[in-house]
């Protein structure tokens, strides 16, 4: 608990007292504060005391009074509303002391120090947040000047007095995660349990790949679907925002990890819309296919700068083959662009999957909207395990697909997931039917904890995930174990579970012989050039790496201290955080990029370090 005074260069943190509580209530209940802040009505001492007993006394939330110093002397108190040890996030406060100097500039400086000195350095938090009524322009400017960015905007929020307002949420992220950090606040996610025999049981978020496929299919279905185990991350939030812009009704319960979707039966309510898919490849490819094959309308699609670099041409070329007009605003084959669909002009199409199997999954999902079904021919080669996930989910919502080889029903090779001969797919026409669908835990997220298990020699199980999973990455633990046990040079084809090529690369540096990872040429075209990320970061850490075509060979060695470049890629940040378990002095730059799929990853990592430090000593 926060039971001691902490002194920094320009800030003092101390536990909250009864006098502080009285001061806070007086400040919160002033006319100006009630008018400008989202709680909108006075708070009684009894209400506040109950909140303290329910949250603070139980350790779910920590509270500090933060005192600002100038020239070494205290000049006023700032109330840091709370710290959430589950996510290592603090909500920043504002001046409440009557004798504190007024002035917007000083308030901005205080909020800056809350992040840079108190929050990130002294407390060891990973994020700071703020929530502001959108009409409170002074507070919005304050947080923008202090280096916060807008994380989301909520329209039509009901306040405690019944008034409807719009709210803006701000966030500031720690710029670096250090492997040898010793934060004052100990992470307590509630997702990691130490079992009696010393093993760990970890609950990971739901699968991003399954979540976004299920959201889109539920959107196209007839009736109301209930999705459970939903992942809430940057990618899925982008998807949900796009669904809202298209007029799709949803009921979201983030705490229960549930989304109810009122399906449109294949007819998009809004025939004109401007969408931003962010950095979500699934949203980018899947929504483009569905909107490009609707019966009329006009849809402008934009993305993050990162997604603008990722290929879209193979899918857009397929849509044009089926009759969709595509108007580019910049370079052809990349975001942004406008779709002018005219339905299906035929029931045959070819798609090049060399750079991504998502192009095929996108057309499969859109296929049932065709009045005569859809036949999809393939060019190029790619692992098809994610395509099988797509077909599995489609089947759960009543859609029928068939995989063909040379025009005949295809019996797959169980070892490779591939068919011999020329492969194509057929999708029957029809309307998806609403479903109650449970989303599996994310096997890709689980892979990092399986790797930690091998590195720290501590048994780890992932709750709700086993070998029956439809996700290809469930094979990673076996591949990793087999690789690490061998004392001879090993070549591993990671083409069918390429997201884990980074994880394998970070995990094998301690082997006695070289490891070659092959089959991964397409990962150059993902969130970043992931082969470049492997070579750059292992070289920084003093590990010799040889790059050749679509292969990398990693020589044995002990990683040294290094600043790991995340390249804005969540998988790079999470994979190379494993080096910090092998050697101190590993720093992950831009750890917040993990919010794409696993917002709390580094809180999990901190908690695992704390739970296992005795076993490692």
* Torsion sign across C-alpha atoms 286, 287, 292, 296: positive
C-alpha distances out from residue 448 to 574, 598, 605, Å: 7, 11, 10
- Gap between the Cα atoms of 168 and 140, Å rounded: 8
The secondary structure of 384-444 as a DSSP string is: -HHHHHHHHHHHHTT--EEEEETTEE----TTTS--SSSEEEEE-----B--EEEPPB-HH
Contact status, residue 219 vs residue 583, Cβ threshold 8 Å: no
Contact status, residue 385 vs residue 416, Cβ threshold 8 Å: no
Contact status, residue 154 vs residue 166, Cβ threshold 8 Å: yes
Contact status, residue 562 vs residue 537, Cβ threshold 8 Å: yes
Contact status, residue 200 vs residue 612, Cβ threshold 8 Å: yes
Would you call 245 helix, strand, or coil by DSSP? helix
Q: Is 40 exposed, middle or buried (0-12, 13-18, 19+ CB in 10 A)?
A: middle
* Torsion sign across C-alpha atoms 177, 124, 461, 227: negative
- Gap between the Cα atoms of 338 and 301, Å rounded: 6
CA angle 387, 223, 295 (to 5 degrees): 65
Could you tell me the two tokens for 229? 């185990």
For residue 24, the 8-state DSSP code is H
Residue of 31, 182, 259 lying closest to 609 (CA atoms): 182
- Gap between the Cα atoms of 541 and 563, Å rounded: 8
C-alpha distances out from residue 409 to 217, 385, 401, 424, Å: 25, 18, 11, 10
Question: Which run of H or of E encompasses 269?
Answer: none
- The residue behind tokens 């007029």 is 247
CA angle 498, 209, 576 (to 5 degrees): 45
Strand partners, 67: 12, 77
* CA 292 centroid distance within chain: 26
Contact status, residue 592 vs residue 127, Cβ threshold 8 Å: yes
Task: Give rounded-to-5 percent helix, strand, coil for the chain.
Answer: 35, 25, 40
Strand partners, 327: 338
Please report how many Cα atoms fall inside a 13 Å half-sphere around the Cα of residue 598, on the Cβ side. 29
Count other Cβ atoms within 10 Å, centred on residue 265. Answer: 12
Strand partners, 256: none
User: Which residues are known to be catalytic?
Assistant: 499
Would you call 117 helix, strand, or coil by DSSP? helix
Count other Cβ atoms within 10 Å, centred on residue 151. Answer: 18
């Amino acid at each position: 608990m926060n039971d001691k005074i902490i002194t920094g260069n320009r800030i003092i943190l101390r536990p909250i007292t009864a006098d502080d509580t009285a001061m806070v209530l007086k400040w919160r209940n002033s006319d100006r504060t009630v008018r400008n802040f989202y709680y909108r009505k006075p708070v009684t001492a009894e209400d506040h005391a109950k909140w303290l007993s329910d949250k603070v006394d139980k350790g779910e939330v920590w509270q500090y009074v933060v005192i600002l110093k100038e020239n070494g002397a205290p000049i006023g108190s700032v109330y840091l509303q709370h710290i959430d040890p589950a996510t290592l996030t603090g909500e920043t406060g504002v001046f409440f002391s009557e004798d504190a100097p007024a002035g917007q500039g000083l308030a901005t400086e205080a909020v800056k120090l809350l992040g840079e000195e108190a929050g990130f350095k002294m407390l060891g938090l990973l994020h700071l947040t703020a929530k502001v009524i959108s009409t409170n322009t002074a507070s919005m400017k304050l947080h923008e000047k202090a280096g916060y960015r807008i994380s989301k905007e909520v329209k039509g929020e009901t306040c405690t007095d019944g008034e409807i307002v719009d709210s803006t949420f701000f966030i500031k992220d720690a710029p670096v995660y250090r492997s040898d950090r010793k934060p004052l606040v100990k992470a307590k996610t509630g997702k990691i349990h130490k079992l009696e025999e010393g093993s760990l049981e970890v609950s990971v978020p739901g699968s991003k790949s399954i979540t976004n496929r299920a959201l889109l299919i539920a959107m196209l279905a007839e009736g109301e679907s209930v999705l459970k185990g939903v992942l809430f991350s940057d990618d899925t939030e982008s998807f949900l925002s796009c669904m809202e812009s298209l007029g799709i009704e949803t009921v979201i319960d983030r705490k229960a990890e549930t989304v109810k979707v009122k399906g449109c039966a294949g007819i998009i309510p809004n025939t004109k819309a401007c969408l931003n898919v962010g950095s979500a490849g699934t949203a980018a490819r899947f929504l483009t296919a569905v909107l490009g094959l609707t019966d009329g309308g006009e849809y402008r699609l934009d993305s993050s700068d990162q997604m603008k670099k990722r290929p879209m041409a193979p899918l857009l070329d397929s849509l044009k083959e089926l009759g969709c007009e595509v108007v580019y605003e910049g370079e052809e084959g990349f975001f942004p662009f406008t779709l002018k669909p005219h339905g299906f002009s035929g029931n045959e199409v070819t798609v090049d999957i060399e750079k991504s199997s998502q192009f095929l999954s996108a057309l499969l999902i859109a296929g049932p909207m065709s009045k005569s079904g859809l036949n999809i021919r393939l060019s190029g080669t790619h692992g098809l395990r994610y395509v099988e996930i797509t077909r599995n989910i489609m089947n759960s919502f009543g859609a029928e697909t068939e995989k063909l080889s040379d025009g005949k029903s295809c019996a797959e090779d169980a070892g490779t997931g591939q068919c011999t001969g020329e492969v194509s797919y057929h999708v029957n026409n029809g309307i998806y039917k609403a479903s109650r669908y449970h989303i599996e835990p994310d096997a890709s997220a689980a892979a990092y904890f399986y790797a930690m298990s091998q590195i720290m020699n501590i048994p780890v199980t992932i709750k709700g995930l086993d070998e029956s999973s439809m996700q290809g990455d469930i094979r990673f633990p076996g591949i990793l174990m087999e690789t690490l046990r061998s004392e001879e040079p090993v070549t591993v084809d990671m083409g069918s579970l390429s997201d884990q090529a980074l994880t394998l690369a970070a995990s094998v540096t301690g082997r006695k012989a070289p490891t070659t990872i092959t089959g991964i040429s397409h990962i150059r075209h993902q969130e970043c050039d992931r082969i470049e990320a492997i070579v750059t970061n292992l070289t920084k850490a003093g590990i010799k790496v040889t790059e050749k075509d679509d292969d990398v060979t990693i020589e044995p060695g002990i990683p040294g201290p290094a600043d790991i470049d995340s390249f804005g890629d969540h998988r790079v940040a999470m994979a190379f955080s494993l080096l910090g378990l092998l050697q101190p002095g590993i720093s992950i730059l831009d750890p917040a990029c993990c919010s794409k799929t696993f917002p709390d990853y580094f809180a999990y990592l901190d908690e695992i370090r704390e739970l296992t430090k005795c076993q490692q000593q």
